[in-house]
Amino acid sequence: MAPLNCPACGSANIRRSQRRNVFEKALRSLRLRPWRCLDCQARFFRFRRRSPNHLPQDKRPHAPRGWERLSTSTKVQIVGYAIGAVLILALLRWLISGGLGGG
């Protein structure tokens, strides 16, 4: 397996970096991790190397079997509903916070 390298200088002398803010913590859900090059101090993101998705179906730890069985169109629908729910919640917050101008 090829080692990780710094995208700026190509050095393999890198180490994991601390997540600094909410944004970088959110990237965790995308399996992105911050790294830092110890040679040039460049900071960059890489996907986690050992992704369960690379394993065969029956060897995935805690595989979301229900979700995996769904067709792509069904997944798109579910994601659409999720986005709609977020928009509705945002609209409710807007209404509650006086979005109608107080009538």
3-state percent helix, strand, coil for the chain, nearest multiple of 5:
45, 15, 45
User: Within 10 Å of residue 90's Cβ, how many Cβ atoms?
Assistant: 10
The single-letter DSSP state of residue 100 is T
Does 8 bind Zn ion (CB under 5 A)? Our answer is yes
Does 11 bind Zn ion (CB under 5 A)? Our answer is yes
The footprint of Zn ion on this chain (CB under 5 A) covers a number of residues equal to 8
When binding is defined by CB under 5 A, the residue of 4, 27, 42, 63 that contacts Zn ion is 42
Q: How far is the CB of 14 from Zn ion (least distance, A)?
A: 7
What residue ranges bind Zn ion (CB under 5 A)? 6, 8-9, 11, 37, 39-40, 42
